[in-house]
Amino acid sequence: MAEPAPVPPASLARIATFVDARLDELLAGERARWVDVDPDLAGLLDEIHQMVRSGGKRLRPAFCYWAFVGGGGEDGDQRVIDAGAALELMHASALFHDDVIDDAATRRGAPTTHTRYTRRHDDAGWAGEARRFGEGVAILAGDLALVLADELLIGVSDAAWRLWNELRLELNVGQFLDVLGSVRRDRRLERAERIARYKSGKYTVERPLHLGALLAGADERLFAELSAFGLPLGDAFQMRDDVIGAFGDPAVTGKPVGDDLRQGKPTWLLATAVARATEAQQVVLDRVGTPDLDATGVAAAQQVLVATGALDAAEQRIDALAAEARAALAGASLTDGARCELAALADYVVARRA
């Protein structure tokens, strides 16, 4: 019998309510403003609204929120709610672009923006290449989401603005390394760890924590303590994503089974399997990331990930990173309530299935 899905902390839904209301307000206002310019612009804003309201977990706003409160900020302060909404728009921007880069047909169980607009072009018989049109719309939606994220942070301190820019730089260089690693079929473990940290781990956990602490006026000591907690937890978060990407249930993830294997993502899981594979197993793994990898090939690769012990090793590594993060959190100079909430978030992050 499958284990029951982990239950998210109750506070996650509360923070999501604050953030979702702010996103709804912002996007409804922008939609109304730009529809007055040209009714066709409604669709672009609707794509952003759908992306941010189609099932995201609001983890980044939650890490930001509890670092803010734990650093002395007031519960419910509008500044941290705006920051949380900005983080979600920034994440939406990355997802729009990710789906184009990966040529993903679905996101959270629904057609991706570029897929939807490609079909719209085909159905209407418009001029030009349908695929380029669809991808162009998705890229522009991602760019607009990032501009709107910036709008929400107008008025923050210079230090917070510099951190926001650093967060976005780290995300983009991590994404580039991920794309490069896929096409080069890079299977080096140290490279996989670097990509995981920069493309996801830092911008999901460590930097949202830092942003919340900065908004609360926290000092350098708390910054270092939050990094000691956030970096290993962010690495564990991405490793859990990698396991889900290789073995996740499509009914839960909203993506085809083994999607990361089809795309040849340079993950810790795959790098470990390659390092341990026999000659026969290596032949199977060599097909990972090739255009003809079908369901049978995905299943064969999954079997090798298990047989080499790579999956067990990944689970052990996730547990070790989570333990390191919890130990760091226990000594952090945060309020007791915030420390408790961050511990619950950490438990959920490493146990989730999507």
- Note the pLDDT tens digit of each residue in 107-139: 888 999 999 999 999 999 999 999 999 999 999
Collect all residues with Cβ–Cβ distance below 8 Å to 204 and sequence separation of at least 6.
59, 60, 63, 234, 237, 238
How many Å apart are CA 1 and CA 145, to the nearest integer?
42
How many Å apart are CA 37 and CA 113, to the nearest integer?
22
Give the 3-state secondary structure of residue 110: strand
Q: Give the pLDDT confidence score for residue 66 in this predicted structure.
A: 98
DSSP 31-78: HHHHHTT-GGGHHHHHHHHHHHTSS---HHHHHHHHHHHHTTPPTT-H
Quick one: DSSP state of residue 218? -
Rg (alpha carbons) of the chain, rounded to whole number: 21
- pLDDT tens digits, residue range 137-158? 999 999 999 999 999 999 999 9
- pLDDT tens digits, residue range 29-69? 999 999 999 999 999 999 999 999 998 899 999 999 999 99
Q: Are 106 and 255 in contact (CB under 8 A)?
A: yes
Q: Are 115 and 105 in contact (CB under 8 A)?
A: yes
> What number is the average pLDDT over the span 196-206?
94
Residues in the chain: 354
10-351 CATH pick, 3.30.230.10, 3.30.1360.80, 1.10.20.60, 1.10.600.10: 1.10.600.10
Nearest to 10 by CA among 353, 337, 350, 354: 337
Q: Are 212 and 228 in contact (CB under 8 A)?
A: no
Q: What angle do CA 200, 106, 175 make, to 5 degrees?
A: 25
Percentage with pLDDT > 70 across the chain: 99
Q: Where are the domains of the chain?
A: 10-351
* Other Cβ atoms within 10 Å of 320 Cβ, number: 12
Q: Are 15 and 348 in contact (CB under 8 A)?
A: no
What is the β-pairing status of strands 106-107 and 110-111? Answer: antiparallel
Nearest to 190 by CA among 277, 269, 268: 268
Collect all residues with Cβ–Cβ distance below 8 Å to 98 and sequence separation of at least 6.
104, 175
Q: Give the pLDDT confidence score for residue 1 in this predicted structure.
A: 40
Asked if pLDDT for residue 255 goes beyond 90, the answer is no
> What number is the average pLDDT over the span 226-255?
92
Q: Give the pLDDT confidence score for residue 47 in this predicted structure.
A: 97
Q: Give the pLDDT confidence score for residue 2 in this predicted structure.
A: 54
For 220-335, where are the alpha helices, taking DSSP H only?
A: 220-247, 250-253, 259-263, 268-276, 279-285, 295-307, 310-330
Q: Is 204 exposed, middle or buried, given 0-12, 13-18 or 19+ CB atoms closer than 10 A?
A: buried
The two structure tokens encoding residue 133: 């049109």
Q: What angle do CA 68, 63, 85 make, to 5 degrees?
A: 85
pLDDT band with cut points at 50, 70 and 90 for residue 254: confident
